[in-house]
Amino acid sequence: MLLYVIIGIMQGYRILIVEDERKIADIVKAYLENERFKVATAETGQNALELLKNGVDLIILDLMLPDMHGEDICQAIRENSQIPIIMLTAKSEEEERIKGLGIGADDYVVKPFSPRELVARVKALLRRTKGLKKKVSFNNGNLIIDASRYEVIKNGSVVVFTPTEFKLLINLTERPGQVFTRVQLVNAILGYDFEGYDRTVDAHIKNIRHKIEDDPRTPLYIKTVYGVGYRFIGLPDED
C-alpha cells in the first residue's frame, strides 16, 4: 500500500529533458508521460536554461549538446538551484561520469539505457530529494504524518485514515499552498481520469477535516478555494 501511495504522489512533477537527439528525448518523454509526469524538452543548453525559469522539479540532462557542454549547464544551474539532475552520458565517457557527479549531478545513466530504468531512477531521485520525507510535522507538532508507518497523528494520538484519505492528504501536504482542483485530486487518488467524482473528493475532504481540524468549519489545514478546489495551509515545522 505504501508503495502505491509513493507512486501516486509522483504524478504532476515537472520533468525537463535536455537532449538534442530527438529520438531519445521522445522515447523518454513518452515513458514519463505514461507515468503522469509533466514533461518539457529542450534541445539546447540555452533553451534549457530558459525553460528552467518556468519551474521544474527534475532535469534529465544530456552531457553532449550542440551549444553547451552538459557540465557547464549543470554548473550554471547549481549556482542558484538544488534541483535534482540526472545526467545522461555515453559509455565511453567514464571520466565524464565521475566529473558529472562531482559538479553537482545527483545521478547518471549511461547510454544506451532502458527508458524503464531511467523512469525508475527519476522516481527514486524525487523520492530521495523531495517526495516523501518519512515524517512531516505541521503547526508545532499538532499534525504529524508518518508515511513510513502510514500514520497520521493529531495532537499526539494516532488517527485512523482510509487509504484514499491518506493519499489525498499526502497529495495536498506535499505541496503546501498549492491549489489543487477537484479533478487533479481525483486523478491523484484514483490514478486515472474519472469523471463525476468531484463530490467524492468533497466527501473525503470533509472526513479528513473531521479527523485533523480542531474546528472543521474554520480549518487550519485544508482550505477550500471556492470554485476551484483545495489547498493545504498547515505550517511545516523545522526538522
Report whether the peptide linkage leading into residue 66 is cis, meaning its omega lies within 30 degrees of zero: no
Contact residues for 6 (Cβ-Cβ < 8 A; gap 6+): 123, 127, 131, 132, 147
Closest separation between CB of residue 70 and Ca ion, Å? 8
Residue 64-93 contact track with Ca ion, rule CB under 5 A, x = bound: x-----------------------------
Using CB under 5 A, which of 7, 20, 107, 182 touches Ca ion? 20
Count, residues near Ca ion per rule CB under 5 A: 3
Number of continuous H segments (helices) and E segments (strands) in the chain = 9, 12
Residue 110 near Ca ion by CB under 5 A: no
Residue 50 Cβ vs Ca ion, minimum distance, rounded to whole Å:
18
Nearest approach in angstroms of CB 142 to Ca ion is 50
Give the nearer residue to Ca ion in terms of CB position, either 74 or 201.
Answer: 74
62 lies in the binding site for Ca ion (CB under 5 A)? yes
- Whichever of 5 and 64 has its CB closer to Ca ion, that residue is 64
Does position 213 interact with Ca ion (CB under 5 A)? The reply is no
Pick between residue 40 and residue 183 the one whose CB is nearest to Ca ion.
Answer: 40
b/e sequence 56-74, b meaning 16+ C-beta within 10 Å: bbbbbbbbbbeebebbebb
Q: Alpha carbon of 165 to those of 148, 160, 195, 214: distances in Å?
A: 16, 10, 19, 18
Interface stretch with Ca ion, choices 16-24, 102-110, 117-125, 222-230 (CB under 5 A): 16-24
3-state secondary structure of 207: helix
Q: What is the DSSP letter of 150?
A: T
CA separation for the pair 109, 102 (Å, rounded): 15
- State the residues that interact with Ca ion by CB under 5 A: 20, 62, 64
